[in-house]
Amino acid sequence: MRVHLDCFPCFLKQSIISLRLGTKDELLQKRILKSILPEIQRADISKPPAYTTTFIHRKIRQLLGRDPFKEIKSEYNQVALGLYPSLKTVIEKSPDPLWTATRLAIAGNVIDFGIFTPHQNFGAGVDVEGTIRRALNNPLAVDDYSTFRDAISDADRVLYLTDNAGEIVFDRLLIETLVSIGKKVMAVVKGSPVINDSTVEDAVESGLTEVCEVIDNGSDAVGTVLEWTSSTFQETFKEAQLVIGKGQGNFETLTGAEKKIFFLFQSKCDVVSKELGLSTGSMLLKKS
């Protein structure tokens, strides 16, 4: 997908979320917001919006002098870890643990802890478990589970591209399920901070590093912009038998890649949803 007209205001809305997390100084917020307008003007509209978003958030971090998501990412890892024991039990008691763990991994993307889906606000007193229950009960708008199950069955190795902090605990649950049925999983995080995406710190904090090998992709891009990843990651990706890509960012950037990828995500914006012919907020398990 390419930059759509409606992506332009959204670039600014996402920037404002970052700026409000990064500083309480309203003049600085406005000054930085103005400074990223030239990045938007340079937006390559032949590329996915994730390219421009990457430049924008790189500039925001540079001008703030820090990663505005650092604290909130850790906070959300802790919230998700608090849910881990009960979710683990749900999976273990399920007649089809792979199905339940997969649905939970998508639910983890659905909640994304309110950062980029403002109607989902995971503050104090919010019904996290109710949201997960609803995410589990609502049908998938695109459901390639039977193909996914067969592909998993045929594969020895799985390359798992994580998305956000917090959500990474849900990824851990699915990866543990894959490991329990004999799959060798390699999980991938970002090479350096970008929005609320998982980095090595989050993999450690979520306990994922104790479950499988975790590598970083050498990039600070939203999603997976292959040309910007490290040569090591590119080699790993090239050799992968089967890829699981979490989140809309990975769908945006990898949807044309020549690789067997299963995308697990919620379509969070109107532009992507419209391209998919779905309503915004739809949950998908979609084969590339």
- Interface positions with a second copy (CB under 8 A): 3, 5-6, 8-10, 12-13, 16, 19-20, 26, 29-30, 33-34, 37-38, 40-41, 43, 45
If the CB atoms of residues 6 and 143 are measured against a second copy, the closer one turns out to be 6
If the CB atoms of residues 31 and 133 are measured against a second copy, the closer one turns out to be 31
Smallest gap from residue 65 Cβ to a second copy (A) = 19
**Who contacts 93 (Cβ-Cβ below 8 Å, separation ≥6)?**
none
| AA identity, residue 54 | T
If the CB atoms of residues 10 and 257 are measured against a second copy, the closer one turns out to be 10
- Distance of alpha carbon 208 from alpha carbon 197, whole angstroms: 15
Per the listing, tokens 């379509």 go with 267
If the CB atoms of residues 52 and 199 are measured against a second copy, the closer one turns out to be 52
If the CB atoms of residues 28 and 128 are measured against a second copy, the closer one turns out to be 28
* Cα separations in angstroms, 25 against 20, 28, 29, 30, 62: 9, 5, 6, 9, 16
If the CB atoms of residues 29 and 117 are measured against a second copy, the closer one turns out to be 29
β-pair partners for 283: 266
Smallest gap from residue 280 Cβ to a second copy (A) = 14
If the CB atoms of residues 12 and 181 are measured against a second copy, the closer one turns out to be 12
Residues, the chain: 288
In Å, how far from its chain's centre is CA 93?
27
Among candidate residues 100, 288, 49, 56, the one with its CA nearest the CA of residue 194: 56
Smallest gap from residue 15 Cβ to a second copy (A) = 8
What is the token pair recorded at 127? Answer: 């019904």
Strand intervals (E) in the chain: 142-143, 157-161, 184-189, 213-216, 243-246, 261-266, 283-287
User: What letter does residue 139 receive in the DSSP assignment?
Assistant: P
Smallest gap from residue 253 Cβ to a second copy (A) = 20
Smallest gap from residue 6 Cβ to a second copy (A) = 7
Smallest gap from residue 146 Cβ to a second copy (A) = 38
Q: Are 170 and 33 in contact (CB under 8 A)?
A: no
Smallest gap from residue 30 Cβ to a second copy (A) = 6
